[in-house]
Amino acid sequence: MTKLEAVLQPSRFEAVKEALAEVGVDGMTVSEVRGHGRQKGHTETYRGNEYNVDLLPKVKIEMVLDDVLVEPAIDAILKSASTGKIGDGKIFLYKVEEAIRIRNQERGVAAL
C-alpha cells in the first residue's frame, strides 16, 4: 500500500477528483491548506497599497491506495492538475505498512 499526498491549486480540485474517480480511487481526505514553493508568493495591490502574499491557498489530497492504483492515480492527477505554470503543485508518495478498519478490524488492502 502507498500513501499519496497531492498539493494543488484549488481551481483544479474538481477536475482532479473526477479524474481519480474514473481510475477507481474510492476515498480521499481533502484539506484546505496554505503554503508556497519556489515562487515565494506574489505581490498584490489593494486600495493603492502593495502587500506581499507569501502563503498561497492550496488543496491537499491524501489517500492510501493499493499499489496497483498508484500509477493510474499519479497519471490522473498529472493530467488534470497541470496548467504548465509555476505553482501547479506536488505529489508525494509514502509506503504504508498496515491499514486497519476500526469498525470491523479488517486489515491491509481490505481495510481501504
Cell numbers given for 36: 508556497
For the entire predicted model, the pTM comes to 0.86
Domain CATH code at residue 102: 3.30.70.120
Q: Where are the beta strands (DSSP E) in the chain?
A: 2-8, 29-35, 42-46, 49-53, 56-65, 89-95
Cβ atoms 89, 7 nearer than 8 A: yes
Calpha distance 13→43 (Å, rounded):
24
| Rg of the chain over all Cα atoms, to the nearest angstrom | 17
Number of domains forming the structure of the chain: 1
Q: pLDDT tens string for the chain (112 positions)? A: 999 999 999 999 999 999 999 999 989 999 999 988 776 666 667 777 776 777 889 999 999 999 999 999 999 999 999 999 888 999 999 999 999 999 999 999 999 9
Q: What's the pLDDT at 86?
A: 84
Supply the range of the domain harboring residue 23: 2-111
